Every structure is written in structure tokens, then in C-alpha cells.
Amino acid sequence: MKRKFRVRIDDETFIVEVEEIREEAGLPQIRPIPVSERPIRTPSSDGLVVAPVPGVVTEVRVKVGDAVKAGAPLLVLEAMKMENEIFAPLDGVVKEVYVEAGARVGRGERLLLIS
């Protein structure tokens, strides 16, 4: 059986149609995605490190001129009361540091540059 509902999100109203599913009909099967099929995050080829989430920089562990290896901790970003270490995506030298401890950053905002 299908039913229509009016849904209001912020100032917009939507009409949605929902189909009722009986338990005996069974629910769709969810299959886990094997590791081999999961997307792989590759580092930015230009060496720009950006904030993965909005938060506050609590600690910067590198400075301009420091040599870093891929996976080395660069800084700590606090988001939703959790500390998130940001790691070097590639080997290189820190060319620019765009933030300092206490800085608020948005998702995608540049943090530092490695080349």
C-alpha cells in the first residue's frame, strides 16, 4: 500500500510517496562491501593538506622547512570534542603552514602545503 505525506524541511514543503512493506515480504538484503571494492583515497598530487572536518587546530607539530614522511603526524584538529590527528599524505618538505593552534577551520580549508 502506498501513502502520501507532506514533509516540511526548513521553508520548503515536499510531497513524498511511501510504500508500506510487510515483514513477511522480507527486507532488502544488505551486503558488506569487500575491501577490494572500497574507494581508495589518494593524496592530493599538489601536496595541499586540507581539513577533513570543521574544527579547531589544537596543535601544529611541524614548521616550514621540516622534512616529513608519508603518515607522519602534522597537526591535531579537534572536532566534536574528539582529537583527530592529520597525517602527511606524501613524503616531502613542509613549504607553507596556513594555520596555528587555536585557529577555527572549515571542511576543505587548507592547513599546510608539502612539496
- Each residue's pLDDT expressed in tens, for the chain with a length of 115 residues: 788 888 888 888 888 888 877 665 566 677 776 766 655 555 555 789 999 999 999 999 999 999 999 889 999 999 988 999 999 999 999 999 999 999 999 999 999 999 9
Neighbours of 74 (CB within 10 A): 22
Give the model's pLDDT for residue 85. Answer: 93
The confidence score (pLDDT) of residue 73 equals: 93
CATH class of the domain comprising 44-114 = mainly beta
CA distances from 113 to 9, 35, 87, 107 (A): 39, 30, 12, 16
